[in-house]
Amino acid sequence: MSSKIYSIIKGTGKFIPSKIVKNEDFLTTEFYDSYDKKSPKTNQEITAKFEEITTISERRHVSNDLVTSDIAFFAAEDAINSSKINKEELDYIIVAHNFGDVKHDNRRSDIVPSLAARVKYKLKIKNPNCVAYDLPFGCPGWLQATIQADYYIKSGDAKRVLVIGADVLSRISDPNDRDSMLYADGAGAVIWEAKESETPIGILSHATRSDTYEYSKMLYMDKSFNPNSEHKDALFLKMNGRRLYQYALTTVPQAIETCLKKFNTPLSEIKKVLIHQANGKMDDAILKRLYALYNITELPKDIMPMTISKLGNSSVATLPTLLDLILKDELKPHEINKGDSIVFASVGAGMNINAMLYKM
């Protein structure tokens, strides 16, 4: 049997901010249901219903002195240290994000130079053949950047690729919109490495779709709901949550099924489903829909590790952070062992969806 080149995980890293923001910290917030329309509900009612629907009780925010490229660097450094590679041998650095560097006292997006260039500089990598660029692709950005890395590796163009997902959503969420309670900050990184093998390992298949014609405006940027906001010129992330929920329930299971079919892999072989976490209840429903496609009603125990209740929705950082926590034995009882097949999946602005099959 001839050997082929596969993309395997060489090292992982993360940065989880130390600042914890609990739901009760929003009890003094002035919430609006839409522009210039204050919510008639009490904040106790709003926060209680929010936690019931999303399962989020707290999230993490960065300190005022940090921006996205800083935390991307921290995660990258962690991944390099865990992999024990020579950082000068990286062929690509790809940073998935959505808003660039947004400072605490200036809500404008800053993306020149690219965040990947800033990370490469902070890492003190001198090799000019290490190509650094950014990928904005909504919440599925880290996974899509990983898919690009797999193409580079399988083509022979690269041997090692550092893929980072980082966002500071706390600075682009409208503080007067209850959806602001969803969003969190964080960064995760994975180093992908080429490995020759006679048996399939690493990244085995993937699938991506972009439903822009009907769904491109489900996530968008607009002014604050509060007409007296101190950030009158700023644009904030807005969402059509109800339509997004229904869209995700229908399409994410289909994308995962397509991905598994590409490598003729039955769902019963999957040991873990690592999914982007924007809403805990939504992810539970997606998982049930996925197993229903295979006529399975009883879900395997601990198949889907969750962090959203404590870390919130950290966008592109969710999947690599989740992977790092499991591989470093920091998310008991979850573990991933040699030979395990796992699925990654994400959904977000675009609307974009992707899925990937990986074998340890």
- Asked whether the whole model's pTM tops 0.85, one would answer yes
What span, in angstroms and rounded, lies between the C-alpha atoms of 355 and 196?
A: 23
- Model pLDDT, residue 231: 80
Residue 95 C-alpha from the chain's centroid: 12
The residue ranges of DSSP E strands in the chain, in sequence order, are: 4-15, 19-22, 32-34, 37-38, 58-61, 92-96, 101-103, 106-110, 131-135, 160-168, 185-197, 202-210, 219-222, 236-239, 270-275, 341-348, 352-359
Selection from 170, 176, 178 nearest residue 228 by Cα: 176
Segments of the chain with pLDDT less than 50 = none
d(CA 180, CA 168): 12
Q: 37, 2 in Cβ contact below 8 A?
A: no
Handedness of CA 293, 265, 287, 206 (dihedral sign): negative
Q: What is the pLDDT of residues 296-326, one digit of tens each?
A: 999 999 999 999 999 999 999 999 999 999 9
Q: Is the separation of the CB atoms in 94 and 148 below 8 Å?
A: yes
Neighbours of 87 (CB within 10 A): 22
pLDDT at site 1: 60
